[in-house]
Structure 1
């Protein structure tokens, strides 16, 4: 039976619990590590934003946001991903229409996510097959509802 999700079920801020890539050969990888952090926000006006990062990011040698070395900038990009734009909800599918993204290839594209479970505490999203590390895989993202005063 297909889940039917109400828009109100998604609204709010979700904190990343885990993210993994599952491949058809049984391989499971953690592209941002097992201690990744991130947030996913769905607003009532139909916009969303997602950001996630590896658990241990290297600091730049400078505090100047535009003056990091090429190596520092490359490492920062490899350890982080974000995107945002309007979203549409249909049954158990949510489509993110990407307007801005660290990965420029996604701008102007629709990122489809399948909602496998949602309640007032947890949201599980599954991606359509995606090319990651040279092979097709499916992303699984588990999010916990942000709790003000508890989560930092």
Structure 2
């Protein structure tokens, strides 16, 4: 990896999900999409990003249609997926990335800005949050990514 000086420069690239975990106030750690979740995050030099994460082994829709499944199949697919895209900004002084949610599987996030703390060490990006509402309670998130492309 080339020597870069700013967080903005270091964020640019394609990242593969290593871990997505949440921690409650009692320090209990859970994995909302499973310990074997997969995902891709893309941060573009032009200030746009896309994050897609999913549970492994989600069942296919029985009919094969890309938009139509049984109500339970659609619900299971949505429960096992987290995706959003939009503009992003880096606040170097606070070690934050701010994601502007232009599109999101979660309709509550559309039009919202989600700030996240970032740490970058070599080719590992860690994104964490103040408590957010997950699985019925406020919890801290920690998502770890490994760089696969600059």
Q: Give TM-score scaled by structure 2 length.
A: 0.91
Count of residues in correspondence between the two structures: 144
Aligned counterpart, 2:111? 108
Aligned counterpart, 1:19? 20
Q: C-alpha offsets along residues 47-97 of structure 1, whole Å, 9 cap, x if unaligned?
A: 010010001211111221122111111110001010010001001100000
Q: Secondary structure at the match of 2:40?
A: strand
Q: How far is the alpha carbon of 1:6 from its aligned partner?
A: 2.7
Aligned counterpart, 2:134? 132
Q: Distance in 2 between matches of 1:33 and 1:11?
A: 27
Structure 2: state its 5+ residue gaps. none
Which stretches of structure 1, 4 residues or longer, exceed 4 Å deviation after superposition?
none
Q: Secondary structure at the match of 2:142?
A: strand
Q: Are 2:38 and 1:37 aligned?
A: yes
Q: Distance in 2 between matches of 1:8 and 1:36?
A: 27
Q: Give TM-score scaled by structure 1 length.
A: 0.90
CA contact (8 A) 1:9 1:119 kept: no
Partner of residue 146 from structure 2, selected from 134, 144, 147: 144
